[in-house]
Amino acid sequence: MAMIVKNKYKISNNLVGLRIDKALTVLDNTCSRVYFSNLIKNGYITVNGEKISPSYKIQNEDEIVVYVKEDEIDDSIKPYELELNIIYEDDDILIINKPQGLVVHPGDGHQNDTLVNALIYNKKELSTVNGFNRVGIVHRIDKDTSGLLLVCKNDYSHNFIAEQLKDHTMHREYIALVTGVIANNKGKIIAPLARSKENRMKYEVNPVEGKEAITHFEVIKRFEKYTLIKCRLETGRTHQIRVHMDYIHHPIVGDPLYGHNNCALYNKGQLLHAYKLTFIHPKTKKEMTFECPLPDYFESIINNLK
């Protein structure tokens, strides 16, 4: 049975001299030393392309590769032939410009036509922290939201990025076209969110049971009946921008769940685009920022507004 790469590490000075099984618990604190020792004994871990013993002492610039059997991946996840719009790629992360209409990971109604399926088809090395149904996925954007998505290629990178999501140091910014003319140039929406009890597909503002949710917005341009805005997420709840804009009575144009039938201008999903992503790279520890322009259909709609 073939083996595929689960994680790959390049050793830095602070780990030199440690036993490899102990060093791996530093690189991936989700697993024990015994776990890694067993993997080494069974040939699932190599150093510089060679099999080693658990007592091997780490040297500077060593390349450690952790493998997993191909049949350990859930074979219900079928490869999906799709050309990915990759904005950036290195040994640790991928930045993808996701098109509108593409679901991020398998779930109800979409098992074989998601971004995860496409990543498997393109034979990308991916993190497994969230299970094989969500390989590589550390955060997500909705099916009909377009734009930037960060994918992790190993578990160390995944955990590092997840911490930034948790402490709100990863910045995600969006552009949206909303219904109505917003009077204020800037605003901050603080409204806790919880799943709706009446419609399990939706989320709603719930001050009692909801989780903290904060969205900042800024007006880019006003039209006769619409407003183009930038939004920055301080938290990252499901449907957050969509629910918050509806909460202040300016739902996103085309939104099938929260738009209150405001789909006359556009009826293929919400006009919401993740245009900017800023984070600290897991290996270099340097800040990185990526931007991508609005999709052509979104730009065309704006250009025809008065």
Alpha helices, H only, 29-93: 33-41
Are β-strands 203-205 and 93-98 bridged in parallel, bridged antiparallel, or unpaired? unpaired
Are the C-beta atoms of residues 180 and 262 closer than 8 Å to each other? no
Are the C-beta atoms of residues 179 and 155 closer than 8 Å to each other? no
Alpha helices, H only, the chain: 20-27, 33-41, 115-121, 155-166, 240-247, 296-303
Structure-token pair, residue 52: 């080693």
- Considering 142, 144, 155, 255, which one is annotated as catalytic? 142
Q: What's the rounded Cα separation, in Å, for the pair 50 and 60?
A: 16
Are the C-beta atoms of residues 148 and 276 closer than 8 Å to each other? yes
Tell me how crowded residue 284 is: count the other CB atoms within 10 A of its CB.
10
Are β-strands 272-280 and 146-152 bridged in parallel, bridged antiparallel, or unpaired? parallel
Are β-strands 226-233 and 171-179 bridged in parallel, bridged antiparallel, or unpaired? antiparallel
Q: What's the rounded Cα separation, in Å, for the pair 162 and 156?
A: 10
DSSP 278: E
What residue type is assigned to position 156 of the chain?
A: Y
Scan for tokens 């074989």, then name that residue: 112
SS3 (DSSP) at 276: strand
Residue 167 is among the residues annotated as catalytic for this protein: no
> What amino acid positions are annotated as catalytic residues?
142
